[in-house]
Structure 1
Amino acid sequence: YTREYTLGRSHITEVNVRSILHGKIFLLITREYTLENSPISVAYVTRHFLINIVLSLTREYTLERSHIIVSNVTLVREYTLGRSHITAVNVRSILHGKIFLLITR
């Protein structure tokens, strides 16, 4: 399901996604901001893996016609849930050598 919030000029969308693979559950919280006509979204992903819960983030910038994603992308998977287009990105974090799964809209 999807819940949408409006806080001031910030638009927050919370999406709960149940992955088909291994039945893992992912929690996606996206905050979108507008700075000088450039939308910036910050996605926090909580991954439930065994007992560990991992928190990761990715920032997406749109400058003029350029789309930049600040992350070290190793693999991209695309999902379609209803009318929402969700891209799942596997990112290898430099810190602690851990692998994080980022899901961004």
Structure 2
Amino acid sequence: GRPDDMKGQAVVAFVTLEGGRKGDDQLREELRAHVVKEIGALARPDDIRFTEALPKTRSGKIMRRLLRQIASGDQTFGDTTTLEDLSVLSKLRDDDD
């Protein structure tokens, strides 16, 4: 999530696509509709960001703290020594998708 003036917190989804697919606006809308159908309108993502990889530790755990910071625009990531691949963090930060 990221801070939102109206809701308090907005839902942000980081999506990795398989098979070399590329994300576009049509797929974003399909994903939003799917979430509404399966979970409900309150869970509809406000932002959907397509990415090739997520920041993971060497043991394979996704660093959700870093995803929250990226979603909110916070550039002070703190301790990233356990990250498996620092380039993933750079790509997510610089990606305007």
Q: Is TM (by shorter chain) over 0.5?
A: no
Structure holding more strand per residue: 1
Q: TM-score, normalised by structure 1?
A: 0.26
Q: TM-score, normalised by structure 2?
A: 0.27
